[in-house]
Structure 1
């Protein structure tokens, strides 16, 4: 035992002392001119054709949507684009603000997002914003806030960014519904011009179905996450010696799910209520548009009557050898309002279409289950 310290000292003495490595010369980089930055960025020229969602991001979105109230869950997507695939590798939720008119709340959300991005950059995590996610119910996501947010992203981000929508009602039925969208070029053109009149809609060929375009989305799970999910659904024996023989054979890690036995009729009434509310909103919007159009028609008729009357007076004055009266600017005398925007009508029609598709899916599945239950009722 007394030789142990001397043996350690001998081994330490036999190890050669580390030599200081020569300090390499600092590399020099030439600054890329701003005019050439877009030319050198090859990935910017490759259009996005597919979205890849990491399994961790899926779990984060599902958890946030479950904890938040209704469709208030929304957040930021982080990742990068590579060879036409937008790889979303991380995300973080944003705090919910009560009203869009609350400036303090909106500024607080902006500060929170900036702070999160700085923190991610400090730990060398992905901090490149590629879009946002939104939790929805019954397949409907059209709103003014949705359009404005996505329009800003498509204008500021390199590839325009995408929005990933997660349907909470589908998750309640055991289906993880994730879809990726972005605004179409025709809609963006009309949105930048702030012109959603009838002529503009006809010119751009816009309907409620051409506001957004869907991008194919796939979910990628790494081997570690896949192994973990596999163990959750695999039965494992109980190792405790106190377990009863009947329960010691196999016990599932997750409790059994009986969602497939649900007839699916609970969401039908709610879906019908949403459709009725959307139809009422559309009727109200059309009534407002009709009132504004009648007001515009009255002002135009008054202006035209004034011009016709002035022309008739000038004809009489010229025939009498008098100088004609000057033609006044009609726009100063009669303020003709501009044609109202039909954007809200398009969005409401999009809601009605989404609710109708959801009702069709739920009712068809529920009918099949009800018929199956009726057939087996005597068993």
Structure 2
């Protein structure tokens, strides 16, 4: 307490600080809000290509392989430059099971904010340019992906990109990465929340026009390219002094016989997915048909009521009586709105993806079976 009073006394005994000189008034005018976007030249350059760093490829594959489910997803970080979206880093988002969707969303948002803050502290790329999604058998059409991509295309400068990684192709030795974004026609219908029959016809929307693919290329740095080169080169084995010389060469990678797998289990699983998707589509179409019949029934009741009221008013006018007032039909009859057909479009997209995956798998398996039959005959 004595030290505090002494410090206060010393502060009071010091001369008052001189007033700081006033800052000079700027002579330039602030950029008006209407001209702020003109300065951002990159936003006016259309996006023509997505460049994926080799490190991002390995991180996505690792996350998808170690994830507890096939719905592994995460954020992509990078920079758009001269029409090319350069993705230089990524980090996974946690996957939460259960029905507590609100709590899970808040947890993911906190994790995302924490990761971006940490990346900024170490001066790494912290600009979100999209997200990635792991899928199987190429069926990535779902409501969650559409909702997330719609938010990104509204908030991010170049609309954001979704990278789809196919686990089933990677299991066969082919790393599958494709870049997509929502089409302008679908985004317009999505913002209006109108996927009725009339809206689909006016926007010319089908399951194939929901997403548009963007060309994608993978970039590796010289060190990684050198390492991959050493793996693919054949080299002579190290010989001991007492061994005989040989001209045989071995590869840095061990022999793999995974390509000889006929893949029967994959074809069976693919057929099961197609049957499930077709059943879901038939159920959805049945629900839509029921709702449409209900709408037609209510509209018929409303039209009959209006016709009856007009006929009654004509009779009253003929008798010299005042016509009855017209009532609001929407208050008397609850005509439900036309149901959305977005779920049907997404299910059709899944069926199409499963069919294309089955065509690729079956053709490769057919060639392997013929080769096996020919070799066994020998």
Structure 2 residue runs without a partner (length 5+):
1-25
On the 8 A contact 2:239/2:245 being kept in 1, the answer is no
1:10 paired residue number: none
SS in 2 for 1:335: coil
Query: Using a 3 Å threshold, how does the CA distance of structure 1 residues 316 and 274 change in structure 2: closer, same or farther?
Result: same
SS in 2 for 1:186: helix
TM-score, scaled to structure 1 = 0.88
**Aligned runs of 1:16-55 on 2, under 5 Å?**
32-55=31-54
CA distance in 1 between partners of 2:338 and 2:100 (Å): 25
Query: Using a 3 Å threshold, how does the CA distance of structure 1 residues 270 and 247 change in structure 2: closer, same or farther?
Result: farther
- How far is the alpha carbon of 1:238 from its aligned partner? 6.4
**Aligned runs of 1:82-161 on 2, under 5 Å?**
82-98=81-97, 102-161=101-160
On the 8 A contact 1:100/1:106 being kept in 2, the answer is no
1:77 paired residue number: 76
Query: Using a 3 Å threshold, how does the CA distance of structure 1 residues 286 and 246 change in structure 2: closer, same or farther?
Result: farther
- How far is the alpha carbon of 1:127 from its aligned partner? 0.6
SS in 1 for 2:354: helix
2:9 paired residue number: none
Q: Deviations over 1:164-203 (max 9, x none)?
A: 0000000011101000000000000000000000000000
2:303 paired residue number: 304
1:268 paired residue number: 267
CA distance in 2 between partners of 1:265 and 1:129 (Å): 40
Query: Which 10-residue stretch deviates more, 31-40 or 236-245?
Result: 236-245
SS in 2 for 1:344: helix
1:182 paired residue number: 181
On the 8 A contact 1:97/1:106 being kept in 2, the answer is no
Query: Using a 3 Å threshold, how does the CA distance of structure 1 residues 244 and 227 change in structure 2: closer, same or farther?
Result: same
1:278 paired residue number: 277
2:256 paired residue number: 257
Q: Does 1:355 align with 2:337?
A: no
TM-score, scaled to structure 2 = 0.88
- How far is the alpha carbon of 1:243 from its aligned partner? 11
2:12 paired residue number: none
Residue-pair matches, total? 352
Query: Which 10-residue stretch deviates more, 311-320 or 270-279?
Result: 311-320
CA distance in 1 between partners of 2:56 and 2:327 (Å): 65
- How far is the alpha carbon of 1:258 from its aligned partner? 1.1
Q: Does 1:201 align with 2:195?
A: no
- How far is the alpha carbon of 1:98 from its aligned partner? 2.0
Query: Using a 3 Å threshold, how does the CA distance of structure 1 residues 351 and 224 change in structure 2: closer, same or farther?
Result: same
- How far is the alpha carbon of 1:228 from its aligned partner? 1.8
- How far is the alpha carbon of 1:319 from its aligned partner? 1.3
- How far is the alpha carbon of 1:266 from its aligned partner? 2.1
2:190 paired residue number: 191
On the 8 A contact 2:72/2:95 being kept in 1, the answer is yes
CA distance in 2 between partners of 1:212 and 1:199 (Å): 20
1:376 paired residue number: 375
2:292 paired residue number: 293
- How far is the alpha carbon of 1:255 from its aligned partner? 2.2
CA distance in 1 between partners of 2:85 and 2:210 (Å): 21
On the 8 A contact 1:70/1:137 being kept in 2, the answer is no
Q: Deviations over 1:133-170 (max 9, x none)?
A: 00010011000100000000000000000000000000
SS in 1 for 2:334: coil
Query: Using a 3 Å threshold, how does the CA distance of structure 1 residues 126 and 293 change in structure 2: closer, same or farther?
Result: same
On the 8 A contact 1:180/1:217 being kept in 2, the answer is yes
CA distance in 1 between partners of 2:227 and 2:70 (Å): 29
SS in 2 for 1:376: helix
2:211 paired residue number: 212
2:364 paired residue number: 365
Q: Does 1:224 align with 2:223?
A: yes
- How far is the alpha carbon of 1:97 from its aligned partner? 2.3
On the 8 A contact 1:136/1:166 being kept in 2, the answer is yes
Cα-Cα RMSD: 2.3
